[in-house]
Amino acid sequence: MITGAILTIPPVAFILTPIIKTDVLGDSDVSEQWVKVGHLSEIPKDEPKDFTIQFPITQSYGSKGIQKESGVSNSDYTVRNAVWMSWRSPTGKAQESEPPSFAESLKAGDSISQSQSKEAEKKLNVLSSSCAHLGCPVRWLITEGEGEFLCPCHGGLYDSNGDYVGGPPPRGMYRYTYEVRQDGNVYVKHEFNIKPGIPGISTQQPYVI
């Protein structure tokens, strides 16, 4: 019996190592590098626009040692995210957004000054598409001339700035860490506005990454 147990340990350890690394040690993670979302010229004045990006991800299952032993292809791993970008509105209504004056004349590929990039950063919404309730992807819905973000799963509602309006979500939409560079593009990190506070509300992470 002892001999059998000893012989069993190596294959079991091999199988469980990725799970231990991923779920216990947290070795499977999304890269913290900056990823380009899009150019400022692509953001409409009067409604949010969704962009699809891909974050590189490091997985224990994709490590070179495991690939060699298991025959898994030597592939790069990414996780797709949808990002909503819009210009901030003082009222939460997209039709009343306030883009910087220089943005109206921008064309794809145009560069901007450092002061313009800082001005744009202050006036942008860069939001995760995951509902703050249970992670369903929200949609931009226009009714009676006004728009809101709607969660189609459970009815969560947010205004154009991503602030909470109604339904089961415990907070507003998650905001990415972002910056506007002088090439005129918006870049994000896989980081969100999670702050110390009420457990399950301000400290809650997005369900879908």
Q: What is the pLDDT along the chain (209 residues), one digit of tens a residue?
A: 555 544 544 454 444 444 444 344 344 477 778 999 999 999 999 999 999 988 887 755 555 454 455 555 455 677 778 999 999 999 999 999 999 999 989 999 999 999 999 999 999 999 999 999 988 999 999 877 789 999 999 999 999 999 999 999 989 999 999 999 999 999 999 888 887 767 766 677 776 54
Q: Does residue 202 lie within any of the structural domains?
A: no
Q: What is the pTM of this model?
A: 0.76
Task: Give the total residue count for the chain.
Answer: 209
* The amino acid at 195: K
Residue 181 and residue 163: Cα distance in Å, rounded? Answer: 26
- Tens of pLDDT, residue by residue over 80-122, are 789 999 999 999 999 999 999 999 899 999 999 999 999 999 9
Cβ atoms < 10 Å from Cβ of 15: 10
Which of 158, 176, 180 lies closest to 167, judged by CA? 158
Residue 104 and residue 97: Cα distance in Å, rounded? Answer: 13
Cβ atoms < 10 Å from Cβ of 19: 12
- Write down the pLDDT at residue 56: 84
Q: Does residue 165 lie within any of the structural domains?
A: yes
Q: Does residue 101 lie within any of the structural domains?
A: yes
Q: Which two tokens stand for residue 45?
A: 């004045």
Q: Does residue 19 lie within any of the structural domains?
A: no
117: CATH? 2.102.10.10
58: domain range? 28-192
Report how many domains make up the chain: 1
- Write down the pLDDT at residue 206: 77
Q: Does residue 9 lie within any of the structural domains?
A: no
| Cβ contact 53:80 at 8 Å | yes
Which residue blocks in the chain are alpha helix, DSSP H?
A: 2-19, 64-70, 114-122
Q: Which residues contact 133 (CB under 8 A, 6 or more apart)?
A: 151, 153, 154, 156, 167, 168, 169, 170
Q: Does residue 86 lie within any of the structural domains?
A: yes
Q: Does residue 44 lie within any of the structural domains?
A: yes
- Write down the pLDDT at residue 76: 65
Q: Does residue 99 lie within any of the structural domains?
A: yes
